[in-house]
Structure 1
Amino acid sequence: MQNEIKVHEDEELSLKLFIVLSRALESVRKQVVKDIKSYNLNLTEFAVLEFLYHKGEQPIQLIGKKVLLASSSITYVVDKLEEKGYLERIACPKDRRVIYGKLTERGHQVIKEIFPQHRKAIANIFSSLTKEEKEHAIVLLKKIGLFADSI
């Protein structure tokens, strides 16, 4: 009987953790989206620009995987960024099936200008935590994510 009570309490605590984590993530996400929209971009456009800014030209299929987009969605995002003059497609000379995404000079300038501002906005969102609390949260959240992936 005592064991059943402990199991029930642990299940209730896990449910509460899930709800708190979900609500916190939603609140953080709203602030991040608000910041990114202020640059006339949506979340996925910003993710693609930021990825290419830090990694250089990449196969479009890989970009989609890295920013967690379906292959049909990455095509749409790349089209939009190309229309804005931020990205260009480059055919791979060795394999015509592979197309690379590369920042244009304009795209590079835009992300170079806005990324430091975005980094400050993210820092502001998490400014209620100390350095140690952030480090501890990273460890705990990684542990949760890795375990969830393994089951």
Structure 2
Amino acid sequence: MDKTYEIIVLFKEIKEAVKKTMVTSFKDVDITSSQWLVLGVLLKNGKMTMSKLSKYVGLSNSTVSGIVDRLERQGYVVRIRDEKDRRKVYVKVTDKFNEVAKKSHMSIEKSIEKKLKNISEEDINKVIEGLKILKKIFEEK
């Protein structure tokens, strides 16, 4: 098998396995993958305008607006109007969601830790080294 293809397939399989772990950790909070995408971007970047958020996640303004509507009803985000330009609307995560994210992050971490528990220290170090090499390769211009 071509090594490049094998790496691509492994990336996809690992991504799916991690996604499954995350979905399991968020099942109690009833968040869809699209909602998680929006929330993840907001967690990483802080408050954002709707249009910037839409561009960042690669979805239309109307789609993101619907997602934000549902998240707002759940108490996970709030819309804030700009005081100087009332046409600008920002979206940010709430303290309620920050708490949910912390708990879920801990759950994800524990789940991964449990999976790694049966792996030797030597193999864990190999995985870390391999991931560092891949990161370096993909960061090169």
Change in 2 beyond 3 A, CA 1:132/1:58: farther
Change in 2 beyond 3 A, CA 1:94/1:138: farther
> Does structure 1 residue 34 correspond to structure 2 residue 24?
yes
Specify the code of the residue in structure 1 equivalent to 2:78.
Answer: E
Aligned to 2:130: 136
Check the 8 A contact 1:57/1:103 in 2, yes or no. Answer: yes
> For residues 83-119 of structure 1, what are the alpha-carbon distances to aligned partners after superposition, in whole Å with 9 as ceiling and x for unaligned?
1122111111233342111233433443344333234
Aligned to 2:14: 24
Residue number among 82, 96, 107 corresponding to 2:97 in the alignment: 107
Change in 2 beyond 3 A, CA 1:106/1:33: closer
> Does structure 1 residue 70 correspond to structure 2 residue 64?
no
Specify the code of the residue in structure 1 equivalent to 2:38.
Answer: V
Structure 2: tracts of 5 or more residues without a match: none
Aligned to 1:89: 79
Could you tell me the TM-score, scaled by structure 1's length? 0.64
Percent identity of paired positions between Structure 1 and Structure 2: 24
Could you tell me the TM-score, scaled by structure 2's length? 0.68
Bigger-Rg structure (1/2): 1
Specify the code of the residue in structure 2 equivalent to 1:57.
Answer: K
Question: Alpha-carbon deviation of 1:139?
Answer: 3.7
Change in 2 beyond 3 A, CA 1:37/1:99: same
Question: Alpha-carbon deviation of 1:32?
Answer: 2.1
Within 2, Cα distance between the matches of 1:78 and 1:93?
A: 20
Structural RMSD (CA): 3.2
